[in-house]
Structure 1
């Protein structure tokens, strides 16, 4: 059996990162291969081996980029699965790992080759606090008096299968959003006067979609794919540029009280673990 959709390896802590060397767990020595699974098998593997462990993560792997022999075959122990499990007969080269996601955020959806191609090309990081897939693409050398760059640019990816969204936050400077490719997505704006607005970013101009919009400083903002979408590529530009100090995440309970008509969106796009600030020194 062969597949071009993503396969997955579950692990704990920092056993796999996007920057370390090839992955060679103990099973490679003891059994001759690395245990992997498909999207429909992740839950079975988690419940069998990881349910009582902390900091469980899921490595997203593009099987087309795996250098070692990849075979789908029966597991070494009986498992409740309808098909064979992917076994990697050799070290896992880390350029085949295109994302790492916390198990609690894993959606158990198939990740298709077109999404894997984007992930492999851009090698996104995960934005602290929000968890959005992003990549910094420009930071001006010139700085203002407080060491803030005069401008910055980044690109990001919303992806339903990888639960990449923007959670509610506000910035101290204006931000310009750009639509690049993929499916339409919604930007939710909550203004200081208590009003709200939804802007649909995309290229269907007959439906009023936009390819660029400005979000004023101090406006609460969040974003996600429009229903039915799989992924979207976007960019954000700021002048003055982005630093961690200009970011403040919302307390979503307080936000719901101020914007009751947006309560469902606030619940869906709440900040993970109620964090409100970027880590010290981030993007500084």
Structure 2
């Protein structure tokens, strides 16, 4: 049930990307008050909205109306139809970081402005690594099935990036990482995992 609710929340935001862009982003909330001014300017300019569960702020840059039948996709997609591709603009701050999660599709990151982005990647084979996105290293492909989380790494406290996926994102492809489970599997990265998760494992 929890995963269904999460998926529904993400779906409602993503599916309304075009119509929602006509509405101004929140400016008077406590969250907005803690966002650096330069990041808030980007959020306002691109009419961004909070990303449910994961964190950060986004606006839908592209979501194709053309789709790929689930039967034509690899088995990991469970026969579910997907858009050909999706692309978003994304702002994250120290507070509104991207929590650890995994996706069924490789995600291409593009760096635009602000602090360098620290990406923690935890691979299915038990290995982990840290990647930095900045003006000298402006793009990186996170493979499918890899746990990924990110946050700004610099004095400004915000980063502005974009991501693209093909086939495109749907909520069913998203899995949120759980702090205790990931820490047990990747003990060498326990401190970073704690910093890039907001909640411990759900109570059974």
TM bracket, shorter-chain basis: 0.7 to 0.9
**Cα–Cα, structure 1 residues 229 and 262, in superposed 2: closer, same or farther, change >3 Å?**
farther
* Structure 1 segments unaligned to the other structure (5+ residues): 1-93, 276-284
Q: Deviations over 1:161-181 (max 9, x none)?
A: xx1111010001111000011
Q: Where in structure 2 are the equivalents of 1:1-284 lying within 5 Å?
A: 97-98=26-27, 100-101=29-30, 109=34, 111-112=36-37, 114-146=38-70, 147-160=81-94, 163-203=95-135, 205=136, 210-272=137-199
Q: Deviations over 1:134-177 (max 9, x none)?
A: 111100111011331010001110123xx111101000111100
Task: Report deviation, 1:131.
Answer: 2.3
Task: Report deviation, 1:99.
Answer: 6.4
Superposition TM-score, scaled by structure 1 size: 0.55
* Structure 2 segments unaligned to the other structure (5+ residues): 1-22, 71-80
Name the larger-Rg structure. Answer: 1
SS in 2 for 1:98: coil
Contact 1:129/1:271 (8 A) holds in 2: no
CA distance in 2, matches of 1:110, 1:254: 30
Runs of 4+, deviation exceeding 6 Å: none
Contact 1:250/1:271 (8 A) holds in 2: no
Q: CA RMSD in A?
A: 2.3
Contact 1:99/1:119 (8 A) holds in 2: no
CA distance in 2, matches of 1:181, 1:190: 25
Contact 2:43/2:57 (8 A) holds in 1: no
**Cα–Cα, structure 1 residues 267 and 118, in superposed 2: closer, same or farther, change >3 Å?**
same
- The higher relative CO (CA closer than 8 Å, separation ≥ 6) is in 2
Pick which of 259-268 and 214-223 moved more. 259-268
Richer in helix (by share): 2
Task: Report deviation, 1:111.
Answer: 3.5
